[in-house]
């Protein structure tokens, strides 16, 4: 990309006329900065001079744009060779800089796929990441739940293996999945290679949307088996065919055509600030795989066409794209079509006026967008009610951000503290943190509380991060006193601190709120909206702490179980774990199976077996 940069002058009295006079009439990207040097907006233009000048010449600017222009202290521009390159650069800058006046969509993780591996006996599995041409991929799917559900259904019908290659290559007897008829047992040759590959091919055709072809093929095999009086095989094929028909009936959309398309619809509500939802529905192989809703940031004041355009650029650039994208309103599509076509290696069409069946898909996506937006608004209203009720009960004006801590361990083993964050009416998962607690007496929860608060808020004292409006501790008077001591030690004794003690018989609704400087606890009624918010945050902290503790404990036990056996070094441990697919496989292996591992003698195998049982 050929680029020429024009550096800004950061000045509260920005000379817009003088700056625009020297801009070239070429395509490019412009970045608007405030007096602090922060990029507040990124835009693209076919003609930089005309586009940037328009912000300072127009009298009918929207209120939001007027506010943005009033904050401009400098502008940076980058000239590109084409509008397509400008679009690409604009998208990259928006994702990296996250300007406050650009519509921002959450840059989600890569979408999940179903994969059939390139193994001699292909593995059916869940996959997320870069695609490898040695394997077959089906998707993408809108969420992981749909992938796992589809894998379970395909297992039930086609009985393909789902185990990792390291496990498959070292099996000597079939696993439980074979016993419950979810796998045909290729690991121990209980199915011929040709029969297994027929099942793989049928599964691939079904994932491609060729349902009728698969069902007709199975019907033919069933008739052949029946003619040969192989009634058990015929019954198995009959059940397989019936299961496939049930799966097909569950699909809301099934065009009978193996078409891949994405449908993008937008819904907006006004009042108290515009609220917008974009719904992406995925159709692969003619089947509706589900949809996903996105709620953009900074969308207030923008029309819905601008929201759709922002979504298309941020979502599809540098990502897998189907041949057809259907949208529910007019957008500037030509440049994006050319860019996505070049990127994907196949023709990409953005359809703004679908007909027939595609219009039905679009109507369904639009209705889902409207429903998702209403549900989001309802949840937010509920959260606002809860937060206001808690604010009034605690007499804490401006209460918004809450951080909650919990400690989890098993008899003092693998102690982990969790910190979860509630902010702006929602749990903020990306701000959650685990803290491994070391150097304390095992089981000393008070010491653990002091340690985690010291580590969490030490940075706040140093000027990094921010202190929450309220700190919640899952615990009683002892935990609250320990937390207060820790906060006093690091110099933030003015922090709002409350403990949540479980009530009588540990029943929900009987919790007591413990204050550091108040002897008598506060007990809200079990139907109090503020208590419901505290329970929600406390339960999330508890869940997250247990998750961290189990992970740490499992890791410790996995390594220590083999490390504590004399004669098992790093190499032999690696051989054992690789051969049996993990510690559980080693634990279930017989002495004879252990002795077949490279470097493991019969005597050592007996010793390993004895130590693990």
**SS3 annotation, 64-99:** HHHHHHHCCCEEEEEECCCHHHHHHHHHHHHHHHCC
In the chain, which residues fall in CATH 3.40.1440.10? Answer: 4-97
Q: Which fold has domain 564-612?
A: DNA polymerase; domain 1 (1.10.150)
Instruction: Judge contact between 405 and 419, C-beta under 8 A.
Output: yes
| Cα separation, 218 vs 452, whole angstroms | 60
Confidence of residue 172 (pLDDT cuts 50, 70, 90): confident
**Which residues are 499's β-sheet partners?**
473, 514
CB-CB neighbours of 337 under 10 Å = 16
- Cα distance between residue 142 and residue 564, in whole Å: 45
Q: Which residue has the higher pLDDT, 15 or 508?
A: 15
Q: Where in the sequence of the chain do the CATH 1.10.150.20 domains occur?
A: 564-612
Residue 285 has pLDDT above 50, yes or no: yes
Query: Could you tell me if 537 and 472 are in contact, meaning their C-beta atoms sit under 8 angstroms apart?
Result: yes
**What's this model's pTM, rounded to 2 decimal places?**
0.68
Please give the residue that has the higher pLDDT: either 127 or 61: 127
Distances, alpha carbon 598 to alpha carbons 164, 534, 582, 601, in Å: 20, 55, 16, 8
pLDDT higher than threshold 60 for residue 382: yes
What is the pLDDT confidence band of residue 587, given thresholds at 50, 70 and 90? confident
Whether the predicted pLDDT of 230 surpasses 80: no
Strands (E), 155-270: 261-269
What tokens were used for 338?
């050319």
- State residue 6's pLDDT score: 54
**Six-digit token pair at 260?**
């891949």
Q: Measured between alpha carbons, how far is 20 from 56 in angstroms, rounded to an integer?
A: 9
Average pLDDT, whole number, for the chain? 85
- Mean pLDDT for the stretch of residues 359-383: 89
175, two tokens: 């696993």
What pLDDT score was predicted for residue 413? 79
- Which token pair is 319? 């990502």
Q: Residue 253's pLDDT is what?
A: 44
* Lowest-confidence region among 14-28, 46-60, 69-83, 568-582: 568-582
Res 526 pLDDT > 50: yes
Q: With 90 as the cut, is the pLDDT of residue 290 above it?
A: no
Query: Is the CB of residue 409 less than 8 Å from the CB of residue 443?
Result: yes
Task: Report residue 10's pLDDT band, with 50, 70 and 90 as the boundaries.
Answer: low
pLDDT at residue number 223 = 82
With the CA atoms of 467, 473, 478 and 482 taken in that order, what torsion angle do they form, in degrees rounded to the nearest 10? -30
CATH (residue range 261-375): 3.30.420.340
Instruction: Summarize the confidence of residues 444-463 as an average pLDDT.
Output: 89
Q: Is the peptide bond before 140 cis (omega within 30 degrees of 0)?
A: yes
3-state secondary structure of 539: helix
Domain with CATH 3.30.420.340 in the chain: 261-375, 402-550
| 99-130 pLDDT, tens digit each | 999 999 876 667 888 899 999 999 999 988 87
Cα separation of 333 and 339, whole Å? 10
Does residue 279 sit in helix, strand or coil? strand
Per-residue pLDDT at 273: 47
The C-alpha atoms of residue 412 and residue 234 are separated, in whole angstroms, by: 58
333, pLDDT greater than 80? yes
Q: Decide the pairing of beta strands 124-127 and 136-138.
A: unpaired
Which residue's entry shows tokens 């505290």? 534
Looking at the DSSP bridge assignments, the partners of residue 292 are 280
Query: Is the pLDDT reported for residue 320 higher than 70?
Result: yes
Under the banding of pLDDT at 50, 70 and 90, the label for residue 258 is low
295 has a pLDDT exceeding 80: yes
Q: Are strands 261-269 and 433-436 parallel, antiparallel or unpaired?
A: unpaired
Share of the chain above pLDDT 70, in %: 91
What is the pLDDT averaged over residues 225-236?
A: 77
Residue 78 predicted with pLDDT over 90: yes
| pLDDT value, residue 581 | 67
Provide the token pair at 451.
């340690």
Would the pLDDT of 1 be above 50?
A: no
Q: What band does 337 get if pLDDT is binned at 50, 70 and 90?
A: very high
DSSP secondary structure of 423-486: ETTEE-GGG-EEEE--SS-TT-HHHHHHHHHHHHHHHHHTT-S---SEEEEES-HHHHHHHHHH
What's the confidence (pLDDT) of residue 274? Answer: 57
Q: At 124, which helix (H) or strand (E)?
A: strand 124-127
With beta carbons less than 8 A apart as the criterion, state whether 61 and 69 touch.
yes
Of residues 495, 520, 521, 298, the one with CA closest to residue 399: 495
Q: Has residue 208 got a pLDDT over 80?
A: no
- Dihedral sign, Cα of residue 354, residue 356, residue 361, residue 366: positive
Structure tokens at 298: 């900074």
Residues 6+ apart with CB under 8 A from 405: 417, 418, 419, 449, 452, 453, 456, 471, 472, 473, 474, 483, 541
Fold of 4-97: GIY-YIG endonuclease (3.40.1440)
Please say if the pLDDT value at position 236 is more than 80: no
Distance from chain centroid for Cα 295: 14
Stretch among 24-33, 72-81, 124-133, 526-535 having the lowest mean pLDDT:
124-133
Q: How far apart are CA 368 and CA 280, in angstroms?
A: 9
d(CA 35, CA 33): 7
The domain made up of 402-550 has a fold known as: Nucleotidyltransferase; domain 5 (3.30.420)
CA–CA dist 494, 483 (Å, integer):
13
The dihedral sign for the CA sequence 196, 201, 206, 210: negative
Render 541-571 in DSSP notation, one character per residue. Answer: HHHHHHHHHHHHHHHHHHHHHHHTSTT--HH
Residue 272 has a pLDDT of 43
pLDDT band at 255 (very low <50, low <70, confident <90, very high): very low
Which helix (H) or strand (E) segment holds residue 115: the answer is strand 113-116
Phi then psi dihedrals of residue 248, to 5 deg: -65, -40
- Residue 462: what are its φ and ψ, rounded to 5°? -85, 5
172-186, 240-254, 406-420, 438-452, range with the lowest pLDDT: 240-254
The string over 230-250, giving b where at least 16 C-beta atoms fall within 10 Å of a residue's C-beta and e elsewhere, is eeeebebbbebbeebeebbee
Q: Which residues pair with 104 in a beta bridge?
A: 297
Q: By the 8 A CB rule, do 358 and 385 touch?
A: no
3-class secondary-structure state, position 442: coil
**257 pLDDT more than 70:** no
pLDDT digits (tens, 9 = 90+) for 467-512: 999 999 999 999 999 999 999 998 888 889 999 998 766 677 788 9
- pLDDT at site 506: 65
Contact 532, 386 (CB under 8 A): yes
Whether 47 has a pLDDT exceeding 90, the answer reads yes
Q: Give the Cα separation of 531 and 513 in Å (integer).
A: 9
């Amino acid at each position: 990309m050929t680029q020429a940069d024009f550096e800004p002058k950061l000045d509260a009295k920005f000379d817009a006329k003088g700056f625009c006079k020297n801009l070239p009439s070429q395509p490019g990207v412009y970045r608007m900065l405030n007096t602090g040097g922060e990029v507040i907006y990124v835009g693209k233009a076919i003609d930089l001079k005309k586009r940037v000048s328009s912000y300072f010449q127009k009298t009918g600017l929207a209120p939001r744009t007027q506010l943005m222009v009033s904050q401009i202290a400098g502008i940076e521009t980058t000239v590109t060779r084409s509008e397509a390159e400008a679009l690409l650069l604009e998208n990259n800058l928006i994702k990296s800089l996250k300007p406050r006046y650009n519509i921002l969509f959450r840059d989600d993780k890569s979408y999940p796929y179903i994969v059939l591996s390139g193994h001699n006996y292909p593995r059916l599995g869940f996959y997320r990441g870069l695609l490898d041409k040695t394997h077959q991929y089906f998707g993408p799917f809108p969420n992981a739940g749909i992938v796992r559900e589809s894998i379970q259904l395909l297992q039930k019908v086609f009985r393909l293996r789902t185990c990792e290659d390291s496990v498959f290559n070292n099996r000597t007897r079939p696993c439980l999945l074979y016993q419950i008829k979810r796998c045909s047992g290729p690991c121990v040759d209980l199915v011929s290679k040709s029969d297994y590959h027929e099942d793989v091919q049928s599964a691939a055709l079904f994932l491609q949307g060729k349902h009728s072809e698969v069902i007709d093929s199975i019907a033919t095999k069933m008739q052949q088996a029946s003619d040969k009086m192989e009634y058990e095989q015929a019954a198995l094929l009959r059940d397989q065919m019936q299961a496939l028909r049930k799966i097909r009936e569950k699909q809301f959309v099934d065009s009978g055509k193996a078409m891949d398309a994405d449908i993008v619809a937008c819904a907006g509500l006004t009042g108290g600030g515009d609220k917008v939802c974009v719904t992406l529905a995925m159709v692969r192989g003619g089947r509706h795989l589900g949809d996903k809703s996105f709620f953009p940031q900074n969308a207030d004041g923008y029309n819905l066409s601008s929201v759709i355009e922002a979504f298309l650029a941020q979502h599809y650039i540098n990502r897998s794209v189907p041949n057809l994208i259907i949208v529910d309103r007019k957008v500037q599509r030509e440049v994006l079509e050319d860019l996505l076509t070049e990127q994907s290696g196949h023709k990409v069409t953005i359809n703004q006026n679908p007909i027939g069946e595609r219009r039905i898909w679009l109507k369904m996506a639009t209705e889902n967008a409207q429903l998702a937006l209403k549900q989001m608004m309802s949840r937010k209203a509920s959260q606002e009610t809860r937060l206001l009720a808690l604010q009034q009960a605690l007499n804490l004006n401006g209460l918004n951000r809450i951080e909650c801590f919990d400690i989890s361990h098993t008899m003092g083993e693998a102690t982990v503290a969790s910190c979860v964050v509630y902010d702006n009416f929602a749990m903020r998962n990306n701000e959650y943190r685990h803290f491994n607690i070391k150097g304390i007496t095992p089981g000393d929860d008070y010491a653990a509380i002091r340690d985690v608060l010291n580590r969490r808020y030490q940075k706040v004292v140093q000027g990094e991060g921010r202190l929450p409006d309220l700190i919640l501790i899952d615990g009683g008077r002892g935990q609250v006193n320990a937390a207060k001591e820790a906060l006093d030690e690091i110099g933030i004794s003015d922090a709002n601190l409350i403990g949540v003690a479980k009530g009588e018989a540990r029943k929900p609704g009987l919790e007591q709120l413990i204050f550091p400087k108040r002897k008598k606890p506060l007990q809200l009624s079990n139907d109090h909206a503020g208590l419901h918010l505290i329970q929600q945050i406390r339960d999330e902290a508890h869940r997250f702490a247990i998750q961290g503790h189990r992970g740490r404990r499992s890791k410790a036990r996995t390594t220590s179980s083999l490390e504590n056996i004399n004669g098992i070094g790093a190499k032999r441990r690696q051989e054992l774990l690789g051969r049996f697919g993990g510690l559980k496989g080693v634990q279930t292996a017989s002495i004879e199976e252990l002795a077949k591992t490279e470097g493991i003698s019969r005597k050592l195998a007996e010793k390993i077996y004895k130590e693990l049982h």
